[in-house]
Amino acid sequence: MELRRVVVTGLGALTPVGNTAKESWDNLVAGKSGAAPITLFDASVCKTQFACEVKGFDPTPLLDRKEARKLDRFSQMAVWVSKEAIEDSKLDLEAENKERLGVVWASGMGGLGTLEENLFDYGRRGGAPLFNPFFIPKVIISMGAGHISLMFGLKGPSFAVTTACSSSSHAISQACDLIRLGKADVIVSGGSDANITIGGIGGFNAMHAISTRNDSPETASRPFSKSRDGFVMGEGAACLILEEYEHAKARGAHIYAELVGTGMTSDAYHMTAPDPSGDGAMRVMRLAIEDANIRPEDIDFVNTHGTSTPLGDIAELNAIKNVFGEHAYEMNIDSTKSMTGHMLGATGAVEAMVCVMALHDGIVPPTINHDPEDVDENIDYRLNFTFDKAQKRDIRYALSNTFGFGGHNATLIFKKHEA
């Protein structure tokens, strides 16, 4: 069968560098860091006392206070960015067949904050089981998708995807397939995570996975530098309105870009560490390129997973060189996690938005915090890492990688839309 085309017609974002998609994109292009000391809880007992928090987020303009208390922070973020994206798309929901409109949403850890809050209260009460009546629906990962469907009356497919740090890329991939196969006309897709909690920070500290550079939070996320000592925890959300091309064209929608290729693989190597050979990463990029029906040389920009971990950065770069050969030196390569930190289940959606806007505006945002003297002998610095400053470029195809604990790999490829 002939697969239907899928385009992006709306964007929404809530990130450590901006409370809208436009503000986030402008600050990423400007090279702004979202890292600062933690304010969401008392982190003085933690080895890491900073993170990339969303600043000044208040859901009450959208949800009244009583309703907001029924949602965990990750679900509040989900409905917030979905509203922005739907409004940006200019979809007339009342005129649409809502049975053809769906939601595929992602979260890596769901309502971790709610879980901790209720368990701490349980302990303080000496074991009295006085849990919040909304405890279970606030914690469940699928409630991000559920609340979006409820708020906007979307009656098509609605479900959640969770694959650790690659969750929202997998969600977008699944949403794309639903539209391609004719099972929906429009899908609200993306992800949200809110894990800057005592358990989130303390747990990753115990794994030695996150940076402890408390003296300089804003420079702690330093992908591709020798002195990198782990990722910086982030939080946030992003939403893409994915729409069937003819449906979008018929209503005169503004098209940001086209989603042309997706890939999914597993390392089957280790619970948390990447396969040092880069096998899973190589295979997932090749699958996405094949799915897009293009050549490796057609890719102009790669937004890497680029977490700023000692093992992960090297494995991904080696995979890129193996997939692209000499063309690897012609592409722009960046890591926007140098500014946003790692938003876990939301990161794929935020970085998909980055690729879409890079195609739309012809700009590659920078990788910040690299000192040219801070070189890792295992990294080939002939690659175009887009260090320090954004670069203008006419981009035809942009590729986004996300890799998650458990060996989950996902790649998305977006194409510039020619009006």
Of residues 169, 25, 26, 149, the one with CA closest to residue 79: 149
Q: Which is the catalytic residue, given 342, 360, 370, 408? A: 342
Per-residue pLDDT at 121: 85
The domain segmentation of the chain, as residue ranges, is 7-250, 262-416
User: DSSP secondary structure string, 296-365?
Assistant: GGG--EEE------HHHHHHHHHHHHHHHGGGGGTSEEE-THHHH-B-GGGHHHHHHHHHHHHHHHTEE-
Distance CA 312, CA 344 (A): 14
46 is catalytic: no
Per-residue pLDDT at 122: 80
**Contacts of 137 by beta carbon, 8 Å cutoff, 6+ apart:** 70, 143, 146
Q: Which is the catalytic residue, given 247, 305, 370, 408? A: 305
Q: Is 412 helix (H, G, I), strand (E, B) or coil?
A: strand
Please list the ranges in the chain whose pLDDT falls under 70: 127-128
Domain 262-416: CATH superfamily, name plus number: Thiolase/Chalcone synthase (3.40.47.10)
Q: Quick check: 18 and 24 in contact, CB under 8 A? A: yes
- H-helix or E-strand containing 239? strand 236-244
Examine domains 7-250 and 262-416 and report if their fold is the same. Answer: yes
Q: Give ∠ CA 68-71-72 in degrees, rounded to 5.
A: 120
**Contacts of 336 by beta carbon, 8 Å cutoff, 6+ apart:** 28, 303, 306, 350, 351, 354, 365, 367
Distance CA 414, CA 419 (A): 15
Distance CA 412, CA 356 (A): 11
106, amino acid identity: A
Q: Which is the catalytic residue, given 46, 165, 176, 355? A: 165
Fold of 7-250: Peroxisomal Thiolase; Chain A, domain 1 (3.40.47)
305 is catalytic: yes
327 is catalytic: no
Per-residue pLDDT at 75: 98
Per-residue pLDDT at 1: 74
